[in-house]
Every structure is written in structure tokens, then in C-alpha cells.
């Protein structure tokens, strides 16, 4: 672990490696920049961004043969959470956490870009665990 002092070590390319302090400062500046940007948006722009996000989530759900959570009625004690991660256009994974009838489950799915076919290829869906 790098200390917060201004010591810098060189990596294999002889470029300075940032310290934890520098990385934290960079992240803080990015957060501040994002907050400044968000404050400048009008309510109409915010609503448009929300609608765009909902549309993208609906497309992702459809492409993964899942229901649209916002439009799905579930029993009072049931729960479903989805965590999506995109790594550019070549990889996407999805983790679905569910509680149904008092039982928990977690499912994982991954998609990658197949260079040979120039298409997205779904890797086999894996059931990670069943919690009782």
C-alpha cells in the first residue's frame, strides 16, 4: 500500500505511479465535477435522462429475457435486484439477486463480443448459489 506522502515509484514504463492520496484527490475532483454538472441540468433534462435510462434498462431486460422490474408486480415479501456491468461494447455481465417465497437465490450471466462472428455471444447462465 502506498503511503499518503508524495513518494512516487516508477512502473515498468518509467512513468510515476500515483499515490493513494493522488488517486483519492482525482476521484474527489471527478465527483465535484459530476455534482456541478448535475446542478446545471434543468428538470426537463433530468427527466429526459431518466427516461433514456429506463429505456436502456428495458432493452437490457428484454435482451436477457427478463421482465421489466418497474412494470412487474411481485408479492409483498418478494424482492429482485439486478446489477448490470458493461465493459465497453465487448463485455456485459448481470447479477440477479432474488427472494421468492422466503428463499434467496443469485444468478449470474455474462455476454461477450465474439470477434469471429462480430456478434454478442451469451455465455451459459450459471446459477451461483441458493440460500435457504
Inter-residue contact 105 to 98 (CB < 8 Å): yes
Are 94 and 80 in the same domain? yes
Are 62 and 99 in the same domain? no
Structure-block grid coordinates of residue 23: 488517486
Number of domains, the chain: 2
Residue 39 lies in a domain: yes
Are 55 and 78 in the same domain? no
Are 22 and 40 in the same domain? yes
Residue 102 lies in a domain: yes
Are 126 and 81 in the same domain? yes
Alpha-carbon span 92 to 86, nearest angstrom? 4
Q: How many CB atoms lie within 10 A of CB 92?
A: 20
Alpha-carbon span 124 to 109, nearest angstrom? 7
User: What pTM was estimated for this model as a whole?
Assistant: 0.56
Alpha-carbon span 98 to 104, nearest angstrom? 6
Are 65 and 80 in the same domain? no
Residue 2 banded pLDDT, cuts 50, 70, 90: very low
For 10-58, write each residue's pLDDT tens digit: 444 555 667 777 888 888 888 788 778 778 888 898 899 899 989 988 8
**Last-in-domain residue among 28, 51, 73:** 73
Alpha-carbon span 52 to 121, nearest angstrom? 25
Are 55 and 99 in the same domain? no
Are 58 and 79 in the same domain? no
Neighbouring residues of 24: CB distance < 8 A, sequence distance ≥ 6: none
Mean predicted confidence (pLDDT) in 53-76: 87
Are 94 and 112 in the same domain? yes
**Last-in-domain residue among 73, 90, 112:** 73
Are 65 and 87 in the same domain? no
Residue 1 lies in a domain: no
Residue ranges making up the domain that contains 121: 74-132
Amino acid at each position: 500500500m502506498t503511503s499518503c506522502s508524495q513518494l512516487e515509484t516508477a512502473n515498468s514504463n518509467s512513468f510515476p505511479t500515483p499515490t493513494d492520496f493522488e488517486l483519492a484527490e482525482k476521484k474527489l475532483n471527478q465527483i465535484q465535477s459530476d455534482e456541478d454538472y448535475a446542478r446545471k441540468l434543468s428538470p426537463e433534462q433530468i427527466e429526459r435522462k431518466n427516461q433514456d435510462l429506463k429505456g436502456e434498462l428495458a432493452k437490457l431486460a428484454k435482451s436477457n429475457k427478463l421482465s421489466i422490474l418497474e412494470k412487474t408486480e411481485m408479492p409483498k415479501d418478494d424482492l429482485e435486484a439486478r446489477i448490470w456491468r458493461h465493459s465497453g461494447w465487448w463485455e456485459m455481465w448481470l447479477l440477479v439477486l432474488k427472494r421468492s417465497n422466503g428463499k434467496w437465490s443469485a444468478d449470474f450471466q455474462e455476454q461477450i463480443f465474439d470477434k469471429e462472428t462480430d456478434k454478442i455471444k451469451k455465455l451459459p447462465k450459471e446459477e451461483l448459489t441458493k440460500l435457504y
